[in-house]
Structure 1
Amino acid sequence: MADDTVKVTGGAEVPDVSPGAGFQVFVDMANLHNKLKLLNYDDEYVMKWRMKPISRIHFSVTTNPGDQLHAFIALSAWLFQKGGIRFEKPSEDDDQSVLLQNIIAQFKKLGHDITISASKLRSGSGESVVYILNRLADDALKKISFTWRLPEKPDELPDADDSGPKDDDNEIDANKIDEEMFNRDTDADEYEEDEAILNMEALTKLGLKSGSVGAAAMSEPEVRPELIMESTTDATEWKLEVERILPQLKVTFKAENKDWRARQEQRLTYKSQIATSLKDAEQMLTRFHTDIAKSLEKITTREQYINSQLNDHVHEFHQQQDLLAQAKQHYRHISSGITEKSQQLTQITAELSQIKEEMEETGQNVTDGGPLVKIKKAIEELNRDIIRVDVRIAVLEHTLMQSKVREKEEANDEKADYLLNELEFD
């Protein structure tokens, strides 16, 4: 069983912590808020950095994680700077994961033992966030050499004495009370009575009942108002009680806007103030009027002098303007002719481009050796055909000659046989 747990009768284990431990983060956050006030947080952080002020429970509960995370990073950067560590002011475009890692690394460099990961700080609230900010605030307070002073015990108030000085604020002016009561009586519709009025008729019927004795209750006779008015209180005790509650007996009268007397006094006050201010304003306005009139006279005189000195230049300027107008008119006339010439040039350029293309095609055809090669190949093929035809002709001639020789031999043989035959018959 862990050390921080206890075992109850039913066998269940409960943590051995205070029931208010869950609210410790609010206490730490309140301490952090006080430390920020000591570091002049309102002027140097809220005003100069233009950041939203944080409340006393800003980082204690999760409300808006995005805004709280940005506020945590910005406040940490400001506390690092207050502690003498260089840390740039973050912007909304920066990578928040990198900034959290930098905060943890710088926090460890300060010598603080921390095992918190950047993922736990993502919510921008909780005990880890408040712990880091508290430690940074402590370092910043050490940097500015701030020390907590011991509590000062207030001096005891001296006992009030009748012969001592009286507090003017605690004195009641009877004249003012009479005047206020008179105003209330005359303007009854404008005031509301909040206090109860003492009913003397009911007071005469007041009687004090005694407690019951035995089974039956016995009552004392009625006490008349004459008997009530007789005081039985000791004078010393009465003075002590008066001295005790005297600081609380302050009568204040609030000025009512509906009171015509207050308005009349206010009107007279404003009238005197306006009259005093009007004299000063009249003097200042008169002086301003005189200065402005003198300045206008000087400006008019200077303007006339400048005009007299610049007459020749103005005349020359007008002449130059006339020459410029003539030059512009001549330029427009020439520009119209240039437009026509430009169109003709464009047309001639197009025709020249077409002729150049035709010449290039003709030159390519003239310098092209493809047809000549084809002619040579055709001639070679014709020569080969002629050779083949000559061979065939020679073969045919040879065959024809052999056939003629054979026929002649046959004819000779037949003639020889015929001659032989004829000889035999003879």
Structure 2
Amino acid sequence: MSAAQVVQSMADDGRRGEDDERGPGAQHQMFVVMEDLLDKLKLLDYEEQVLVKHNMKPLSRHYFVASPYTANNPGEQFYMFSVIAAWLITLCGRPFETPQEHDDPNATVSNVLSQLRALGGLVDFPPSKLKSGSGEHVCYVLDRLAEEALKSRDFIWKKPLYPSEELEEESVMEDDAELTLSKVEEMTEEPDEEEDVIDLEELKTRSNQRARPEMILESVTDSAEWNLEVERVLPQLKVTIRSDVKDWRIHVSQMHQHQDGIKTSLKEAKGYLDKLLEEISKTQEKVGSREKYINSQLEHLITDYRNAQSKLSEAKELYQQGSGGVTERTRTLAEISEELEKVKQEMEEKGSSMSDGAPVVKIRQSLTKLKQEIQQMDVRMGVVEHTLLQAKLKEKNNMTRDMHATHITETSTHTYL
């Protein structure tokens, strides 16, 4: 059965019922699918294109089967699933952005499932099954995308070629101290021709002799010789039967032994568990009765406690109201204090200016300077008036001279006429 058929059978089993209603092997099909998925990812060179690029660790054989394989960081499985799914969708010829760790898981799962439907995949399970990052549905989605990626690369699965096995005779070093079962049979089947013939007469004479009681009670055999004979014969009495590892009967017998052991352990454990269940039930009944008794004894205290809680809530409300008024009045007081500080500062400035004689000195200095400037202006005005007077007098003299010259010229003219 191929991986796709296994995954499809898993999906069909999921639609028929829960895991306990399916066969005993259905729970372990996801392990087979995960191993096939890892082989497909290796064919697609995911080590170089995904692990090295995103600085991730290689996947284990059962990484996406269940969440306990990454107990330290549960979100790592979902991030690894989203990155590998995005990479496989890109290999199928469909643009898909690589998800980030802070992306919304619901949006990522929705995008992956939409791409899977577009590629012809069957999605008959809720998207929440993929948010854990593990389970048969995660294995199914990744395996389906890996199949489509291999198809896009024109990869074809070929039939496996099994090497021809040649039966080689195992050369077993024989040990003189061990006898195999075949040797024992040969020894029993082949008569010993060199065995000495029993002397019947001697046996008859021995049987006719009566054994003495002291010979029966005390042996005349030397213990040292007896031990030597035992040490010499003991290795030859060992029979070793070599078991074949490939024999299915051995595995069946082992399965029966394990089954018997499990049944025995189950009976013992069931007895212990029944006793434990009975003790737990009795303890629960005792705890329940004790709890009812305590509740009946403390009922009036509970009522008082509730009344005190209600009074406390009322007091808290009153306190909040009072604290609100105090806060408002504190703010008003702060504003008034600020205005008072401003008024005090202005009064201090006016008082200091009134008691200080520096402005009067400045006024006097200014008056003195002003008088000096007036005097300088008067001198300048006198100089200007004197200059102007000289200019007027000069101009008047010029005019008088011109007039005399004109009168003399006219007189001379009349005289010549």
Q: Scaled by the length of structure 2, what TM-score is found? A: 0.34
When you count helix as a share of all residues, which structure comes out higher?
A: 2
Structure number with the bigger relative contact order (C-alpha 8 A, sep ≥ 6) is 2
Q: Scaled by the length of structure 1, what TM-score is found? A: 0.34
